[in-house]
Amino acid sequence: MPKTSLLVVAPLFGFLSLAGCGDTSPSLDDPANNTIGAATDRATALAMACSGCHAAQSDAVVSLDEYGADALRDALRRYKTESDGTTVMHRLARGYSDEDVDLLATYFDTEGVEP
């Protein structure tokens, strides 16, 4: 093999060997992690994902500001348990734990808040 080929291939193999060392990315649950996940609590992080479609400024999808905690909790549980549901919300809700559903319902709760 010519020397120029070795100069190109050797660093590539070195890089690939490092890539196989395993995942060393910090956990979002680790308080020492200095990422956005560490800077926000779990409820806020979940709600940020919802705001992509359910922003108050969008008329395309209903705003979650219109729901109370009980109504949102019921809707998310219904989406989660409908086994034949194929919408994006059905798929997303199936990934939420019961704790996640409670966190989201509490986060978006508007009962008792004056407009």
- Is the pLDDT score of 110 beyond 80? no
Residue 112: pLDDT band by 50, 70, 90 thresholds?
very low
Distance, in Å, from the CA atom of 81 to the CA atom of 77, rounded to the nearest integer, reads 6
**Superfamily the domain 42-115 falls into:** Cytochrome c-like domain (1.10.760.10)
**Does 7 or 54 have the greater pLDDT score?**
54
Distance, in Å, from the CA atom of 41 to the CA atom of 46, rounded to the nearest integer, reads 9
- Kindly give the interhelix angle for 98-107 and 42-50, rounded to the nearest 10 degrees: 80
Q: Are 65 and 51 contacting, i.e. CB atoms less than 8 angstroms apart? A: no
For the chain, the domains span 42-115
DSSP run (H or E) holding 90: helix 88-94
- Burial of 112 by CB count in 10 Å (0-12 exposed, 13-18 middle, 19+ buried)? exposed
